[in-house]
Structure 1
Amino acid sequence: MLVHLRMTVPDDLSHTIETLLVDDDRVTNVVVMRGVSVQPVGDAIEADVAREAASDVIDAICATGLPERGGLAFSDVDGSRFDAAAAVGRAAPGDPDDAVLWGAVIDRARTSARPSATYLAFLVLATVLASIAVITDSAVLVVGAMVVGPEFASIAGACVAVAFGRWGLAVHGLARLVAAFAIAIAAVMVLALVARWTGLITAEMVTRPRPLTGFIWHPDQWSFIVALVAGAAGVLAMTTAKSAAMVGVFISVTTVPAAGNLALALALSAADEIRGSASQLALNIAGMLVAGVLTVWLQRALRPAPRT
């Protein structure tokens, strides 16, 4: 597996970066197009690098000062068929599935810390679904609400930021998460109050025994254990670009369902369910944060040292 690098390089850095790439046996297909870059004025350089070595090579390029004076973009190569691709893979230690492009991971962490109307809309809709699941005691709707909820992106981004010591980024990410949940819960609470006033729902619908959804507001030690496992799996899936595993993470933890139950409990003044739902929500987020940070630390500790 390869990662493709594309750079716009000022004239005085071009030879340095070209030499760095050509002399590395984990890099192939080095192409230098002299004088084609208009902004910044200089050269365009492209290359393919073994995925296992991509972070090291990108770090070495960044150490030349290119990010401040030029441009560097990279992307996974979906397919390749030439002998040199296998050769650079053999020259790079490790397995490409274990490789992490930390630059891309940190970029995603930055994105997850920015406020977004789309993010908020998804969280509100997921919380609405969760509240309907509570009213109808529907396990299927609980799963649907978990899948629709976008909150794990913020949690994973905060984990990466903490692991890299980027405290400002971590604070922004967590603040976005808390604010979005507060808005979603408030919005659903208002809808629930309207529904109660019109007779669409009653307090008994929420406080009655619910065999399929009662677990939402009954946190226990297993809630925290599941959150730990899901947080580790989710961050691992995000950092290694294994998106298929993310669906399992989404339907493992009851963050959004707890938020939906909390909104209903607030609207219907169900004190026990308010406490239980808030505890479930906090417990799940805390467990995922702890496991996510530890996962990133472990990945960085196991990463081979950059070649010099």
Structure 2
Amino acid sequence: MFHLRVIVPNGRTDAVLEALRRQVGAAHVVLLRGVAMDGAGDVVEAAVAREAADAVVAELCRLDVDHVGGITLEAVDTVLSDAVDRAEHAAPGDGADAVVWEELLAKTGEEAKPSVTFQAFLTLACVLASVGVVTNSPVTIVGAMIVGPEFGPLAALAVGLVRRRGDLLRRAGLALALGFPVAMLVTAGVTVLAEFVGLFDRTAVLSAHQVEFVYQVGPYSLIVALLAGAAGMLAMTSAKSAALVGVFVSVTTVPAAGYAVVAAVLGEWDRCLGSVVQLVVNMIGIVLAAAGVLLLRRRRVGDDRPLVSG
């Protein structure tokens, strides 16, 4: 269930109210006249079933409210109301299966920004992965997988491909194209320093067997990436955020970047190349599977409407 708040300029309020009345998934419509401080206008609020939210937002956008006013959707976990129960029952489909495209665009767009925070998390994850490599510790590598923020831009690439959003593709591509090289460069500096002060033994690193999966590319590398990408996009579109932790643990992206750096510092170029290939295979597999899930879900609900808001 969503709480919907719409800021409407004078003269368009009746059209907004009529649009909400036509939606079987809307309940508790409230009108507050003349309360908008940013320009003369009214505020309309309503409870909207998740499975009807995309249709409601699309209708409001057709009324140009997203440009002349404002639309806010806020997820609500608990609502005690018979009217809301009837609205959810009347709305077509199931809330768990509904894709709210504007919500997904906002979420992936925010996570795809090449921000300082994103870079910091990615760098820390790569350094942590390098520690897992030199200490032959799969547990540390799993920790690096969880810390890594790279699934956000990868999901944004999938959404951008499906929705043909060039701005989202550019933003996510920039985050990855800048993020990984910078993180790997910092990790290389840390690894060189650790080798100089004798924190790890070259022979011990090269003989480590528990972390060989990082640079050994095979059919299962792509299979796991495809499964993880599909699960990750399902989790994002169904608001099952807890499932994303399993996605983070299953994909070998950050560990591959960390291993590539350690192998390069040690002059093991075969292992370095294998790690880079592993990284690329995983990222491509995630994006393709995530885009495939979005295409299947859009076809299932018959959603062929283009988004009109930017």
Alignment TM class, shorter chain as reference:
over 0.9
TM-score, normalised relative to structure 1: 0.96
With over 3 angstroms needed to count, the CA separation of the structure-2 counterparts of 1:213 and 1:52, relative to structure 1, is same
Q: Secondary structure at the match of 1:36?
A: coil
Aligned partner of 1:65 in structure 2 is 64
Give deviations 1:158-200, integer Å, cap 9, x for gaps: 1111110012321220221121011111101111111222222
Q: Secondary structure at the match of 2:30?
A: strand
The residue number in structure 2 matching 1:291 is 289
Residue 6 of structure 2 aligns to a residue in which SS?
strand
Pairing 1:1-308 to 2, within 5 Å after superposition: 2-208=1-207, 210-304=208-302
What is the alpha-carbon distance in structure 1 between the residues aligned to residue 257 and residue 44 of structure 2? 49
Q: Provide the secondary structure at the position in 2 that maps to 1:180.
A: helix
- Find the aligned partners of 1:25 and 1:293 in 2 and give their Cα distance: 30
TM-score, normalised by the number of residues in structure 2: 0.95
The whole-number CA distance in structure 1 between the counterparts of 2:254 and 2:227 is 17
Question: Residue 39 of structure 2: SS of its match in structure 1?
Answer: coil
Unaligned runs of 5+ in 1: none
Q: Which runs of 5+ in 2 are unaligned?
A: 306-310
CA contact (8 A) 1:190 1:267 kept: no
The CA distance in 1 between the partners of 2:263 and 2:105, in whole Å, is 37
Per-residue Cα deviation, 1:93-141 (whole angstroms, up to 9, x for no partner) = 1111111211111012221232211111111111111111111111111
- SS where residue 11 of structure 2 aligns? helix
Q: Distance in 2 between matches of 1:82 and 1:113?
A: 37
Counterparts of 1:118 and 1:305 in 2: how far apart (Å)? Answer: 35
Distance in 1 between residues matched to 2:304 and 2:273, nearest whole Å: 49
Q: Find the aligned partners of 2:167 and 2:96 in 1 and give their Cα distance.
A: 30
Percent identical pairs in the alignment equals 40
Specify whether residues 51 and 188 from structure 1 end up closer, same or farther in structure 2 by C-alpha distance, changes over 3 A only: same
| Residues 266-285 of structure 1: per-residue CA shift (max 9 Å, x gap) | 21211111111111101100
Contact 2:298–2:304, Cα closer than 8 Å, also in 1: no
Once the 2 structures are TM-superposed, how far is the Cα of residue 304 of structure 1 from its aligned partner? 4.3
CA distance in 1, matches of 2:13, 2:304: 22
Q: Cα RMSD (Å) of the superposition?
A: 1.5
